[in-house]
Amino acid sequence: MASSITILDVLVEDIRVPTSDSLLGSDPFHRKPDYSAVVITLKTDTGLEGNSVVFNLGAGNNWIAFGVIDLASLLKGRTLAEFVHSPAKLHQLMMEHHQMRWLADGVFRMATGGLVNALWDLWAKSENKPLWELLADLSPEAIVSCIDWRYLRDALTPDEALDILRNARPGVTQRKAQMRESGPAAYSTSGWLGLDDSQICDHIKSLQQQGFRHFKSKVGSNLKQDIDRLKLLRQLIGDDSHLMIDANQIWGVDEAIEWMQQIKVYRPYWIEEPTARDDVLGYIKIREKMKHWNIGVAAGEQVPSPVIFKQLLKSGALTHCQIDATRLAGVNDVMAVILIAAKYGIPVCPHGGGIGLCNMIQHYSLWDQIAVSAQYDNRFVEYLDFLQDDVFKNPVAVHKGHYVTPEQPGWGLEMKPEFIKQFRFPTSPVWSSRSGPIGALFLA
């Protein structure tokens, strides 16, 4: 079927929700995010569409949109068959382009990822499978051929990756069935900095009633406030639930260690993003100290490249690998990270939230737990209960603290037209009266 599908056009939308009005998603560093997405649609001659999103915090969403439009000219007129034949080739045509690679990571890798992920969506739909199942059904050889190995072999060789995937094969059918009963375990981010104690109390109680046991709180802007809040949260959730904490890179290396010294008594399960996204040696130093306090170290939502992930995983600096769905150059990059994590025995606990991230990461966790690590233990997938029902035709569902394994073909990222219309930047009524000094520009 794939052979007969040709990409005719690529639609790109800049969609922004004024979440800063309610401080949902706020943290010490990203004080007033407006959750945003570049929404990508590959239009084909068959009517089948390839969908993806790239999540952003508001200003700057237009930078990614601009990049996606520029790169999209590379895809027009190509067939899905070309991608299916060699997913690495189109991935590298963009990511390793001999002029474009000067742009390095960040905007360039994220824009590339948006298009790569839309191609995977189209492929999965052409096979009428959810993305996770397409991945779980691919042969080990096919998976390994998707990856750009140039810089990764010192941590994981293609042969080692094949071994990992082959070892997982025998249980795939059984684990697929189990996951269709109850999907990956979820945890929730509830300690938003901008909310008061009673709001957080109510929120946690409601989540506990839905079956959640593990919770995460933001820390790092004020030590006294952190101590008060962590004390409250530990009382609310009890001793058997995990309490994760997240500093969103607010600290320097030594500062992170000193701050953690003051709050370790509340037994955080992990400290997430204690320092700069690319400070490998800093993470190694922090992890050495946390080890003695029995506290994990997590990161990933801003880890800018597979090479940085490689170092964090191989060195043991991370105890939990928080792959993100739209930070890297799509499925091909994330496959590599999940395989390296499997080799070093580091559980994959993806970063969710934003717009569309939970929808996407559930597929990665399903693939990891079914066909790569083949384990469920210590694997928690972030879950946030907003920007779902009003946004997506197939919103993420949770049941008893677990994701409900999605069955619709592809990523399941199709958006409701009313949502797009309401939050299109900067022309929709929600924005036309507000736009501030940055981000006012938009691709013409």
Active centre residues (catalytic) = 218, 351
Q: Which is nearer to a copy of itself, 110 or 349 (CB)?
A: 110
Q: Which is nearer to a copy of itself, 75 or 165 (CB)?
A: 75
Q: Which is nearer to a copy of itself, 19 or 44 (CB)?
A: 19
Which positions from 15 to 54 touch a copy of itself by CB under 8 A, shown as an x/- string?
--------------xxxxxx--------------------
The window from 165-173, 221-229, 258-266, 433-441 that contacts a copy of itself (CB under 8 A) reads 433-441
Q: Figure out which of the listed residues 117, 189, 311, 388 binds a copy of itself, where binding follows CB under 8 A.
A: 311
Record the tokens describing residue 9, joined without a space. Answer: 């056009």
282 binds a copy of itself (CB under 8 A): yes
Distances, alpha carbon 24 to alpha carbons 6, 260, 270, 324, in Å: 40, 25, 22, 19
* 306 neighbors 278 (Cβ within 8 angstroms): no
* 45 neighbors 8 (Cβ within 8 angstroms): yes
320 binds a copy of itself (CB under 8 A): no
- AA letter at 198: S
Cβ density class 176-199: b for 16+ within 10 Å, e for less: beebeeebbbbbbbbbbbebeeee
176 binds a copy of itself (CB under 8 A): no
The window from 43-51, 276-284, 370-378, 399-407 that contacts a copy of itself (CB under 8 A) reads 276-284
441 binds a copy of itself (CB under 8 A): yes
Binders in 87-126 for a copy of itself, by CB under 8 A: 96-110
Q: Figure out which of the listed residues 23, 24, 74, 88 binds a copy of itself, where binding follows CB under 8 A.
A: 74
254 binds a copy of itself (CB under 8 A): yes
Q: Figure out which of the listed residues 8, 11, 397, 443 binds a copy of itself, where binding follows CB under 8 A.
A: 443
56 binds a copy of itself (CB under 8 A): yes
- Alpha-carbon distance of 57 to 25, in angstroms, equals 9
* 235 neighbors 197 (Cβ within 8 angstroms): no
Q: Which is nearer to a copy of itself, 395 or 426 (CB)?
A: 426
Q: Determine the Cα angle at 354 with ends 349 and 356, to 5°.
A: 80
List Cβ neighbours of 370 (8 Å cut-off, separation of 6 or more): 132, 136, 168, 172, 175, 176, 179
- Alpha-carbon distance of 270 to 293, in angstroms, equals 11
